[in-house]
Amino acid sequence: MIEVSDHTLTEQGLDARGSDPARVLVLACGALAREILALFKINKWDHMDLTCLPAKWHMTPDLITDGVEDVVRKHRGDYDQIFVAYADCGTGGLLEAKCAELGVEMIAGPHCYSFFEGNDVFAATAEDEITAFYLTDFLVSVFDSFFWKPMGLDRHPELLEMYFGNYEKVVYQAQTENAELTAKARDCAARMGLRFERRFTGYGDLQTALAGIPAAR
């Protein structure tokens, strides 16, 4: 399996390996790289290749739509198909419109917390869980560099109340069974002063969406 650091996924993303023998390119957020590579391996999806945009664009979603368009245009001649492994992610419908224009499929739903849980389940429970802050395996593993620091909480602990004053609990949506990550997630919740809940989601609709890509044309 490809070795790539959290730091690289956050800052730069990941380059495609090449279209031989892959016929499908999955273009994803760097925050989904590990999960997608795991799915490739588990399901023996050798016909798929992965490229990622920087995970840190999570914080600046206005960069995502143009970034996706650039990669699709760059690689579209090399593969039979490109699949965009992003949900809306705060682009306000612009990514969906762009994908439709480019003729590529994307993942349904508002964001990864929703599709990991399963979009239907998430939509049904969101209202009762409005004061929850979600963590995923990726977010837990890069919590300090990806979240705590960019939010200024390392330098200004007084900001915590301004960010999370209205929150009550952390829901750790676990993609895998991993005691170390679970312990770390619990610690993250404690640092945020929030109650902790762990919920095993597995890969949710991410798995279904990728499985739905036809193997060959």
| Residue 152 touches which member of ligand B12, other proteins, none, C-beta under 5-8 Å by kind | other proteins
Distances from the Cα of 144 to the Cα of 140, 154, 161, 192, 213, angstroms: 8, 8, 18, 12, 35
Q: Please, what is the end-to-end C-alpha distance for the chain in angstroms?
A: 26
Q: Which stretch binds other proteins (CB under 8 A): 68-76, 148-156, 177-185, 187-195?
A: 148-156
C-alpha span between 147 and 161 (Å, rounded): 15
Among 58, 98, 174, 207, binds ligand B12 (CB under 6 A): 58
Residue 156 sits in the site that holds other proteins (CB under 8 A): yes
Does residue 202 belong to the site contacting other proteins (CB under 8 A)?
A: no
Distances (CA, A) of 160 to 164, 182, 189, 196: 6, 22, 12, 17
Nearest CB to ligand B12, comparing residues 78 and 196: 196
- Site map (CB under 8 A) of other proteins, residues 34-73, x = contact: -------------------------xxxx-----------
Q: Rule CB under 6 A: is residue 98 a binding residue for ligand B12?
A: no
58 binds, among other proteins, ligand B12, none (CB under 5 to 8 A by kind): ligand B12
In the bound state with ligand B12, the residue whose beta carbon lies nearer, of 20 and 127, is 127
Rounded CA-CA distance 141/121 in Å is 25
Q: Binding segment for ligand B12 among 10-18, 53-61, 94-102, 203-211 (CB under 6 A)?
A: 53-61
Report how far residue 129's alpha carbon sits from residue 104's, in angstroms, rounded to the nearest whole number. 33
Residue appearing with tokens 């929703």: 114
Task: Name the packing angle between helices 64-75 and 94-102 (round to 10°).
Answer: 10
Q: Which of 42, 123, 130, 215 binds ligand B12 (CB under 6 A)?
A: 130
Measured from the CB atom, the residue of 79 and 115 that comes closer to ligand B12 is 115
SS3 135: strand
Tokens 């990864």: give the residue.
Answer: 112
State the residues that interact with other proteins by CB under 8 A: 59-62, 88, 90-94, 110-111, 123, 126-127, 130-131, 150-153, 155-156, 159, 162-163, 166-167
